Amino acid sequence: MSGGPRRDIMAAMAIEERVRELLAAGDARGAATETLRHFGPKVLRYQGALLRSETHAADAFSLFAEQVWKGLPQFEWRSSLQTWLFRIAWHAALNLKRDGWNRLGRAFQTGEATALAEDIRTKSVVRVERQRRTLDKLREALSDEEQSLLTLRVDQEFSWEEIAEVFSKEGEKIEPAALRKRFERLKERLTLLAREQGLVD
């Protein structure tokens, strides 16, 4: 396996540069399209792992896509594009789980965002479902934050600093070291759960 994570990082950096160029040229539509096409499948996997429902993940992903489409022109690049996107994805999943699509949802104002989100979701859904099933038994026992922490660190290979940014709220900063300790405890707990359920020896 030749340099998978490194290749992913380089690809993300190249997309960030391309998105910056498109925004600087006034092409917000092109920038949003590039962003969603590149990062969309990863975000959908993340939301699917959190919500454990294809329907709910589709709704959360639609909400995410709309927010990115509208918010990208105002993005100030204080964090990486990827971190900003996963922060939106995390809050979209949480809001959907807490409030439900009927209260949050509404028709997209931008038809292109709708079509793009559905195209990305349709192409990814079979692969997402297969991957999700293997961990569902374990993840059912986890809280929303534990699932998010696990997915961001293991599936998405985020740094502790990036995960801290995703979890942080206005006026409430989370320390990367605290997340690292939580993750170590979570790994120990998952190992015990896997043994109890006969998933490992």
pLDDT of residue 33: 94
pLDDT of residue 2: 44
Query: Which runs of consecutive H residues, i.e. helices, occur in the chain?
Result: 4-24, 28-51, 54-71, 81-99, 101-104, 111-139, 144-150, 160-167, 176-196
pLDDT of residue 25: 96
pLDDT of residue 20: 95
Cα distances (Å, whole numbers) of residue 79 to 53, 75, 82, 124 = 30, 9, 8, 27
pLDDT of residue 66: 92
pLDDT of residue 1: 40
End-to-end CA distance of the chain: 27
Number of neighbouring beta carbons within 10 Å of residue 38? 20
pLDDT of residue 65: 94
Which residues, given as ranges, of the chain have pLDDT below 70?
1-8, 100-111, 114, 123-137, 197-201
